[in-house]
């Protein structure tokens, strides 16, 4: 496995996404005395399940790009921006889930929001990444107009 292709944005996004999946599936998001429910259970379990699926998709694409060497340059949107949009979608889904039922929140809810925000921060670090080769003679940088 070649880890030299993994950027800081990838590391932050992958780490937060992996922890977020654990949080969504196992940690208590709503607590009532001794009963607790995860993000994928009621109330609003569909929002948590959708957030978990999008998070899993982000991890799969990251793995395919960096470790399996799959070329995604055919994508109409640069992959860094698509990752940012997907990460922001996860954060929005989780905020919406909490807005629907903000009562009796467990520590998993707060940890989940922080992890989703960390995913967005990692995606911001890598938002200009593409799978295209840099232009010849530019040293991998965009030409400046001045």
Residue 138 belongs to some domain of the structure: no
Residue 142 belongs to some domain of the structure: no
CB 130, CB 76: distance < 8 Å: no
Residue 15 clears pLDDT 90, i.e. is over it? yes
pLDDT tens, residue by residue, 44-74: 899 999 999 999 999 999 998 888 878 877 8
The phi, psi pair for 44, rounded to 5°, reads: 70, 35
Residue 132 belongs to some domain of the structure: no
Residue 1 belongs to some domain of the structure: no
Residue 71 belongs to some domain of the structure: yes
pLDDT for res 141 = 52
- Nearest alpha-carbon partner for 50 in 94, 82, 80: 94
pLDDT tens, residue by residue, 81-135: 999 999 999 999 999 999 988 888 889 999 999 999 999 999 999 887 655 444 4
How many domains does the chain fold into? 1
pLDDT for res 19 = 98
Give the CATH number of the domain where residue 13 resides.
1.20.120
- In the numeric block, which tokens belong to residue 57? 């998709």
Residue 141 belongs to some domain of the structure: no
- pTM exceeds 0.75 for this model: yes
Residue 63 belongs to some domain of the structure: yes
Residue 113 belongs to some domain of the structure: yes
Q: Which helix (H) or strand (E) holds 37?
A: strand 35-37
DSSP state of 138: T
Domain region containing 44: 8-125
pLDDT for res 137 = 46
pLDDT for res 48 = 94
């Amino acid at each position: 496995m070649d880890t030299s292709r993994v950027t800081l944005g990838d590391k932050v996004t992958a780490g937060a996404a992996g922890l977020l999946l654990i949080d969504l599936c196992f940690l208590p998001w709503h607590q009532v005395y001794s009963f607790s429910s995860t993000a994928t259970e009621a109330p609003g379990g569909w929002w948590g399940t959708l957030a978990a699926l999008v998070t899993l998709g982000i991890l799969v694409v990251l793995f395919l790009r960096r470790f399996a060497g799959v070329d995604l340059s055919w994508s109409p949107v640069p992959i860094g921006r698509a990752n940012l949009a997907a990460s922001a979608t996860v954060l929005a889904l989780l905020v919406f889930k909490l807005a629907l039922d903000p009562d009796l929140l467990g520590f998993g809810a707060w940890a989940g929001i922080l992890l989703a925000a960390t995913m967005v921060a990692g995606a911001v670090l890598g938002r200009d990444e593409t799978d295209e080769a840099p232009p010849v003679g530019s040293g991998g940088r965009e030409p400046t107009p001045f």
